[in-house]
Amino acid sequence: MKERGLAPINVTYSILFDVFARENDMERAFEMYGAWRAGLEVDEYTYGVLIQGLRAGGIMKHVWKLFKSMSEKMLKLSNLICDMMIYGHSKEGSTCRAPRLLLKGMSQNGMAPKVDSYSVSIYVLCNQGKRQEVEVLLNEMLASGLRPNGSIYRVPYDAKLKGP
């Protein structure tokens, strides 16, 4: 692009980083990230793309570093980013972090967990057979005034069918 006199913008880097991360070409993804940081301001939307790309590539160690960096820079966390963190940790098997992230991390940053956040956490806990924790989350969700959707009720049912 630069050879043609065009300057890349955040969207350009976002797309390229996401493509490389999804193809699990992390060397090129981080090369792109380095070029990105050298030329442009990395904002909360940029972090969202980075976190999604790394989560899709299954590299939660780097995702967690980005998440912490985002918090340190006082960038606004979104429910979507927290949901990606919960889901990513569940994929790598560190389910104990998922509900903690939901309950503590989101509320500490002034966010109220939404139905989707609870849904992801319930999915994670059900697949690990942690039914008591699911019940606690459902009760907290109801106490906060949120109404579960059909998929939330379906997850524990499906997990029960799978067995212990």
In terms of average pLDDT, the best of 16-30, 50-64, 83-97 is 16-30
Q: Please state, in angstroms and as integers, the Cα–Cα distance from residue 9 to each residue in 12, 21, 41, 44, 155, following that order.
A: 5, 18, 10, 15, 41
Confidence of residue 100 (pLDDT cuts 50, 70, 90): low
Burial pattern 60-85, b for ≥16 Cβ within 10 A else e, equals bebbbebbeebeeeebebbbebbbbb
Paired tokens of 143? 């106490």
Helix (H) or strand (E) holding 53: helix 44-56
- Other C-beta atoms within 10 Å of 136: how many? 14
- Secondary structure of residue 138 in the 3-state scheme: helix
Nearest to 32 by CA among 23, 107, 91: 23
Mean pLDDT of the chain: 76
- Whether 136 shows a pLDDT value over 60: the answer reads yes
- Whether 159 shows a pLDDT value over 80: the answer reads no
Confidence of residue 110 (pLDDT cuts 50, 70, 90): confident
Predicted pLDDT at 71: 76
- Whether 36 shows a pLDDT value over 80: the answer reads no
Paired tokens of 122? 């319930």
Predicted pLDDT at 48: 83
Predicted pLDDT at 92: 66
Residue 69 contacts by C-beta under 8 Å, 6 or more apart in sequence?
47
Confidence of residue 163 (pLDDT cuts 50, 70, 90): low
Predicted pLDDT at 103: 66
Average pLDDT for 36-51: 78
Beta strands per DSSP E along 17-112: none
- Whether 28 shows a pLDDT value over 80: the answer reads yes
Average pLDDT for 99-128: 76
Rounded (10°) angle between helices 131-143 and 150-162: 170
